[in-house]
Structure 1
Amino acid sequence: MDGIDLQDEHQAANSAKVTTSGSSDGAYRVLARKYRPSSFEDLYGQEPMVQTLQNAFETGRIAQAWMLTGVRGVGKTTTARILARGLNYEVPGEIDKPTIHLDKPGTHCQAIMEGRHVDVIEMDAASHTGIDDIREITEAARYRPASARYKVYIIDEVHMLSKSAFNGLLKTLEEPPEHVKFIFATTEIRKVPVTVLSRCQRFDLRRIESSTLVSLLQEISGKEGIEISDEALALIARAGEGSARDSLSLLDQAIAHGAGRIAADEVRQMLGLADRSRVIDLFEHVMRGDIASSLDELKAQYEVGADPAVVLSDLADFTHLVTRLKAVPKSGDEASVTESERVRGREFAEKLTMRILSRTWQILLKGINEVQTAPKPLAAADMVLVRLCYASDLPDPEEALKLLKSGKFSPASGGAPTGNAPQGGGGSTASAVSSGRGSAPQLRTVAGGQAMAQAVGVAPQTAPQMRRAEELHEKIAIRSWQEVAQLAARMKDIPVKVSVERALRLVNFQPGRIEVQPTEIATADAAGELGRKLTEWTGRRWIVAVSRDQGRPTIHEEKEANQRQLVSDAHSDPEIVKLIAAFPGAKVVDVRILKQEEDIPFETASEVTDIDPTDSIDFTEDF
């Protein structure tokens, strides 16, 4: 891997101690800067972008602007400098055209890579966000470059430009002078206006795979003369999360922590991670449903400094690994997977079902957030493990229904399957499973060959409950849009009731299919949510589709219109007029019709000489 400074690279390659490596003036430079890529060949994991640029340069189809996006540390700014170097690459007497083959140091290469070339202008949009900064660029773009082939503007964190700055850049970006090129870099691509994106070629820089990061770290460690174990490299690569800069920063920290010799334990201690083998042991305890051993193991890891949230995160990572090994066995051959993870993970993958692994993943995903926000993280982590232990041997709804129909699932016995399985505390069966360290749990087979620790718990619904639910579904028959709102009220689902009455306009109503027109206050999934709720409540399939046709007023709008009409009619009634006249400043604000008089026309009531006490009319008086 080529360094920025050839003299520095030569010193690094021949250095026996990390303390002697640095720049030519004796100042130490961090690894992320010292081994920053300087050519396209050095870019790890970005082969699609390099191939596109190579074809563009060879055919002369060079774009006017590029947009580089990706997470932190994948090389956006470095790629921008390399691209500027390729655009202005020139070797006197040999090469004088844009190319991606940067084999020799060119006339402008060193100055561009060090960010000090007069024709390659780098601007940080985080500190230059205004229209005045962009106006300087647009005015200077008219002049030709001083020495290079192209005048290149590199704008980092471009999403932080103001709206006026983006608008000021649009015209120059769409029709720049032939000698001007723009390169933008951002981590928040969604914040960049689409008018700017449409004028650029976009490259999404991918996260670097863990195996690639391990190779990169191994190569740099060799150049620095550092002894580091493969497991330690895997830990650093995993903690780097696809970022080369983050991984090199962690390697720098590990070198300082280990004083030239780095073992996995030291890296684990530095990162605050639990021992990976102990995490696998914890996974085994959880899958066996052994609550006592699970809680003891978590407490032991906590006492040596492990963060409960990190332990659960590692547990989730191992669950993900076991799931991948079950779905794609060859994924265990990756360099980022340690030997213990590979061996024991494959054993678990053979004996655990995909449903159990998926359920474990969902519980851990929710539990990690709970632990991170809990006032007592260890107690919250304990509760997550208890939940996992009980859920590890629960049948899924389909298996529980099969057991119930076959008579092997007895609601009277607390939901446990009938048979000779020993009963344990908490309404679960505890199977005595003995396994040594490194071996997967011997899981019992229940319900047609499904691998579980036990099949325990209460069935989702007993047979009488299911029959009552079916009878309830038979009684629910919806014949109008108003009955949909009434059903939502009966089910006490206030969000759906409000959505039907205020957010959806009826276009067409048929049994099983409703067409609606959403209002401005409707949520994005209002129609789909209503369809799912109706299907659940009625026991038959309902489709609620969004229509482009104009719908009738919402139920709430119709109620308001009717109420306004009643108030208007009340104002025109002679008796009400007399009453208002008797109280200066009074006015009718509401009219309510009692149930026994709902069918009586309003004109009939107006013929009564005296006010009927059954009428309810609200007045307000301004004094």
Structure 2
Amino acid sequence: MTALALARSWRPKTFSQLVGQDHVVKALTHALDQGRLHHAWLFTGTRGVGKTTIARIMAKALNCIGEDGQGKMTSTPCGKCSACLAIDQGRFVDYIEMDAASNRGVDEMAALLEKAAYAPSNARYKVYMIDEVHMLTNHAFNAMLKTLEEPPEHVKFILATTDPQKIPVTILSRCLQFNLKQMPVPLIVEHLEKVLAAEKVDYETNALRVIAKAGQGSMRDALSLTDQAIAYAAGKVTEESVRGMLGTLDDAYLIRILDALVSKDGATLLNISNEMGERSMSFSLALQDLSSLIQKIAAAQIVPESVLEDWPEATEVRRLAKIFTKEEAQLFYQISITSRPDLSLAPDEQTGFAMALLRMLAFRPAGSEPQAARSNTGANTAPARPAMPSNRSEPRAAAPASPKPPAASSERPDWHTLMRALPVKGLVQQLAFQTELQDWADSATGIKARIVTPTPSLASDASVARLTEVLTAHFGKPIKLTIEKGEVEGKSVAKIDAAIHQEKRQTAEQLIAADPFIQALEKEFGAKVVGGSVKPL
């Protein structure tokens, strides 16, 4: 007899068995317990997060009659009555699952709605579950509008989709919408531990972490990969066997790459790339894992307590956080994520990966050296800041020098130049451009700055928090911003830019007025230059 796949045998059959969707479970159980039921629900989310599973549990909750046959609608279906068993086995005639990807036309929808008018055969409710509902045609959506808004009392609709943006708003407005979350890695690992313990399969926790990351938020994908890992390992599921199955790097490779970057050892970087090619590792996953590790290092530099003790790589993350400069960590992260889509454009993936590593080596901030070395020599000058590469573009070797922090609390930085240099956009940039520095106090523990703006509406909590975050990263120490309403005296970016533009416009108008050709037109044809129409280049 063929064994069921883990994703099927461990599919939750009650709300209490669901993992990671507490917000949905809470809302549905309260509605069932209080008898306040909507007639249509829409479940959205990526694959493998429980949309169809919740639909089946809802069908059982609506139609459960209890073991004695006298039960009522409940949020805790018994799983043993005829209705629960039939739904679990896929043979309950009043629970209809329809795949909209293969039944997307108006004719199929009309046939479904025609049957909905009839009372259920032997159930409390007739439940229609339409999967991938976004695949329906516009005519099919229009055909179901009226029935979806006012269905017969015995009919409930459950819609599921991975792409809610494609569903007409007229449909969305007639449903209660629940967005199912992707599963975080720790939650997937915890669930896999329970599954393998029950299945009596030996495992290494790090192996489950690798599987959980490869599942990309999908519990079903993680369970399928676990099935594959059990077969691949033919025994204990180890980290080595799982990485070999998936073609992913272990942490030792990643640490070797970063250590080679520290020592500026290009030969080692190429050797590592060749080793990976010989082992048929996935270079795309390698860049993904590398960017994840660099992010942890960058976070450890700003928030040391973000490093968790249960991380296998915790010690190395702390060590590398002290060696790399903040600028290097940011640059290496940017190169690693922008190089992933470029792999498809390279002659082959190994070449693209090797170039990404060499790019990190070639475009390190000019004159940078490990933080530990700087502390030993007593140097206190900041390295030149790199120009951060935009998406899918080549980074530049260096950028114009950024404004340096004041040497003492009595000195103020060039606020206009500083605001222009900050990597912010949108409303945060508008806030930065509309401010003027009033007071500046710099100490060993941090910076206190008081600024004014004539447009306090721009100073939302989110914008102020983002501006504070960027300034903290820029100066390498905590900064506390106090923003007050007030008129600027002309030193804000907006004021200076306006003054520069006004000066250029006046110069352009003078040049136009002095132009012999313009003067001839004015004299012979009575032409006039329209005021305000001259714009400087």
Partner residue, 1:460: 400
Partner residue, 1:273: 248
The CA RMSD measured in Å over matched residues stands at 3.5
Q: How far is 1:259 from its partner?
A: 1.0
> 36, 40, 49: which one pairs with 2:11?
36
Counterpart contact for 1:370–1:380, Cα < 8 Å: yes
> 336, 349, 353: which one pairs with 1:381?
353
Q: How far is 1:367 from its partner?
A: 1.5
How is 1:55-74 mapped onto 2 (pairs within 5 angstroms)? Answer: 55-74=30-49
| Superimposed CA distance per residue, residues 419-461 of structure 1 (whole angstroms, 9 cap, x where no aligned partner) | xxxxxxxxxx7x6x8xxxxxxx84534874769999x976626
Amino acid in the other structure paired with 2:497: R
Taking the aligned partners of 1:443 and 1:153, their CA distance within structure 2 comes to 67
1:344 has 2:322 as partner? no
Partner residue, 1:50: 25
| Superimposed CA distance per residue, residues 18-71 of structure 1 (whole angstroms, 9 cap, x where no aligned partner) | xxxxxxxx1232111121111111111000111111211122211111100111
Partner residue, 2:331: 359
> 171, 190, 209: which one pairs with 1:196?
171
1:231 has 2:206 as partner? yes
Counterpart contact for 2:365–2:383, Cα < 8 Å: no
- Comparing 94-103 and 128-137, the one that deviates more: 94-103
Taking the aligned partners of 1:106 and 1:333, their CA distance within structure 2 comes to 47
Q: How far is 1:241 from its partner?
A: 0.9
Q: How far is 1:207 from its partner?
A: 0.8
> 374, 382, 388: which one pairs with 1:444?
374
Alignment length (residue pairs): 416
Q: How far is 1:378 from its partner?
A: 2.7
In 2 relative to 1, CA 234–95 (structure 1 residues): closer, same or farther, beyond 3 Å?
A: farther
> 293, 306, 312: which one pairs with 2:268?
293
How is 1:174-573 mapped onto 2 (pairs within 5 angstroms)? Answer: 174-326=149-301, 332-333=307-308, 337=311, 339=312, 341-394=313-366, 442-445=372-375, 448=380, 460=400, 540=497
> 116, 121, 124: which one pairs with 1:146?
121
Counterpart contact for 2:248–2:286, Cα < 8 Å: yes
Q: How far is 1:597 from its partner?
A: 6.9
Q: How far is 1:595 from its partner?
A: 7.5
Q: How far is 1:332 from its partner?
A: 4.2
SS at match of 1:74: coil
Counterpart contact for 1:231–1:264, Cα < 8 Å: yes
**TM-score of the aligned structures, taking structure 2 as reference length:** 0.70
Q: How far is 1:329 from its partner?
A: 5.0
- Comparing 195-204 and 140-149, the one that deviates more: 140-149
SS at match of 1:227: coil
Taking the aligned partners of 2:278 and 2:74, their CA distance within structure 1 comes to 57
SS at match of 2:19: coil
Counterpart contact for 1:159–1:186, Cα < 8 Å: yes
Counterpart contact for 2:385–2:399, Cα < 8 Å: no
Amino acid in the other structure paired with 1:50: V
In 2 relative to 1, CA 75–443 (structure 1 residues): closer, same or farther, beyond 3 Å?
A: farther
- Comparing 312-321 and 198-207, the one that deviates more: 312-321
Bigger Rg, structure 1 or 2:
1
Taking the aligned partners of 1:458 and 1:155, their CA distance within structure 2 comes to 55
In 2 relative to 1, CA 603–297 (structure 1 residues): closer, same or farther, beyond 3 Å?
A: closer
Counterpart contact for 2:67–2:80, Cα < 8 Å: no
Amino acid in the other structure paired with 1:196: I
SS at match of 2:98: strand
Q: How far is 1:320 from its partner?
A: 2.1
What are the ranges of 5 or more consecutive residues in structure 1 without an aligned counterpart?
Answer: 1-25, 395-415, 417-428, 434-440, 464-469, 474-534, 545-593, 605-623
Q: How far is 1:372 from its partner?
A: 2.9
Taking the aligned partners of 1:150 and 1:190, their CA distance within structure 2 comes to 29
SS at match of 1:28: coil
In 2 relative to 1, CA 451–100 (structure 1 residues): closer, same or farther, beyond 3 Å?
A: farther
Counterpart contact for 2:384–2:398, Cα < 8 Å: no
Q: How far is 1:186 from its partner?
A: 0.4
SS at match of 1:262: coil
| Superimposed CA distance per residue, residues 84-137 of structure 1 (whole angstroms, 9 cap, x where no aligned partner) | 111112115476332222355233112112322111111000010011111112
In 2 relative to 1, CA 93–116 (structure 1 residues): closer, same or farther, beyond 3 Å?
A: closer
**TM-score of the aligned structures, taking structure 1 as reference length:** 0.61
Taking the aligned partners of 2:182 and 2:209, their CA distance within structure 1 comes to 16
SS at match of 2:109: helix
